[in-house]
Amino acid sequence: MTHPRDTRPRRPGRAKYIPKRKVCFFCRDKVETIDYKDPALLRPYISDRGKIAPRRKSGACARHQRSLAVAIKRARHLALLPYVAAHIRRTGGVGIKS
């Protein structure tokens, strides 16, 4: 005995939520290469913990996300960007040390 899934009527007046599709910043501005020597460009794609933002959060396409990750890693290697956030360096990780 099977039942169709959408037998319940929708509430009147409520439209289905459709989020706006993020467009890749680098494709939109026609950026050919992502410069690892520009920390101001790379900083928005790093979390407060120092992690590289995933595609769903950064809004970059697959091609630019790969080159973005390489650029961030190169900038970290040259000490242009930190590997770890400052507050983690001070506390040593999770929790308060006693």
The answer to whether residue 25 is domain-embedded is no
The answer to whether residue 47 is domain-embedded is yes
Q: How many domains does the chain have?
A: 1
**pTM of this prediction?**
0.71
The answer to whether residue 64 is domain-embedded is yes
pLDDT digit string (tens) for 79-93?
999 888 777 777 776
Structural domain that includes position 84:
33-91
The answer to whether residue 84 is domain-embedded is yes
Q: Which of 63, 78, 76 is nearest to 33 (CA)?
A: 63
Query: What CATH number does the domain containing 63 carry?
Result: 4.10.640.10
In this predicted structure, the answer to whether residue 96 has a pLDDT above a threshold of 60 is: no
Sign of the dihedral defined by the CA atoms of residues 33, 38, 42, 46, in that order: positive
pLDDT digit string (tens) for 24-63?
999 999 998 999 999 999 999 999 888 999 999 999 999 9
Supply the DSSP string of 2-24, one letter for each residue. ---TT-SPPPTT-PPP-PPPPPP
The answer to whether residue 3 is domain-embedded is no
